[in-house]
Amino acid sequence: MDVSVFMADGLEECEALLVVDLLRRSEISVQTVAVHGPGWKGENDDRKQIFSSHHIQITCDTSIEDYEPGEEKALVIPGGLPGVEYLKANEKLGHILRDFQKNKVEKEEGFLAAICAGPTVLADLGLLEGKAVTVYPSRKEDLGQNVHYINEDVVLAPGVITGKALGLAIPFALVLISTLKGKETADRVAQEIYYTSWSQAQKKSSTA
């Protein structure tokens, strides 16, 4: 598995599913991981199901309870409320992200990615210290004092890729593709979906 996307109840579904769609078009293997809010008491297959902030039911590939770290090159955190708060509250996810930072990111063998309010999940764990990132503008104060906010659409920094908001989910996904499989693959996918703004979007992205 190349990428895991952690999807909580109350997520912004397009920020997650656009990423999954475009990565799979690039022949990048992706699994979706369901994360539930505090007090959830589902069982069996129910644990794979979540409901987005717009009440859309999504069945994920696995659940946080059943998740086991693999050979991922990236972990992705979408935004949306209250989904982001549920991600922050999940103790196992916190351990997963910290371990990935230590075992993959710090060895330059992987990266973390987050969009919209998602970067605040990483910030709360101290994983963005000293990094340049973007985030949904009204949440920039939640990044903390030692994180450098950049008002760009997508920011690629060492070990972390961040996107500003839902409207930038396509260029965010294309930057992930470019990082994982090269610019030619990202260009091909952009052309296939007639995303004619890709060249311009790259100019509005920042490498820090």
- Is 90 exceeded by the pLDDT of residue 197? no
Cα-only R_g, the chain: 16
The model's pTM is 0.94
pLDDT, position 44: 52
The answer to whether 12 and 77 have CB atoms below 8 angstroms apart is no
Can you read off the two tokens belonging to residue 57? 């039911």
C-alpha–C-alpha distance, residues 70 and 78, integer Å:
20
The burial class, CB within 10 Å (0-12 / 13-18 / 19+), for 61 is: middle
pLDDT, position 140: 95
pLDDT, position 85: 96
| DSSP 8-state class, residue 10 | T
Mean pLDDT within 102-106: 97
What percent of the chain has pLDDT above 70? Answer: 93
